[in-house]
């Protein structure tokens, strides 16, 4: 599956260069494509809520 996601988050770096991501909020998410690993296409993929 290939998706595009837009996220708002706060990125904090320490003096040593370590990253800490706080309060990630997904603003939008879109499924761009789906490919089955066994049959090679996504024609028979079912969306399940």
What DSSP assignment string belongs to 23-40? EEEEEEEEEEE---TTTS
| C-alpha–C-alpha distance, residues 44 and 11, integer Å | 40
The tens digit of pLDDT for each residue in 3-42 reads 999 999 999 999 999 999 999 999 999 989 888 888 877 7
Category of 48 on φ-ψ map: left (φ > 0), alpha (ψ -120 to 50) or beta: beta
Provide the pLDDT for residue 1. 86
Look at the block and give the residue holding tokens 């879109």: 30
Domain boundaries, the chain: 1-49
| C-alpha–C-alpha distance, residues 9 and 26, integer Å | 9
| C-alpha–C-alpha distance, residues 25 and 19, integer Å | 17
pTM: 0.58
Q: Is the pLDDT of residue 44 over 80?
A: no
| Residue predicted with more confidence, 43 or 1 | 1
């Amino acid at each position: 599956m290939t998706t595009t996601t837009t996220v708002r988050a706060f990125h904090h770096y320490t003096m040593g260069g370590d990253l800490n991501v706080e309060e990630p909020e997904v603003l939008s998410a879109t499924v761009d494509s789906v490919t089955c690993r066994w049959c090679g296409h996504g024609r028979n993929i079912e969306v399940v809520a």
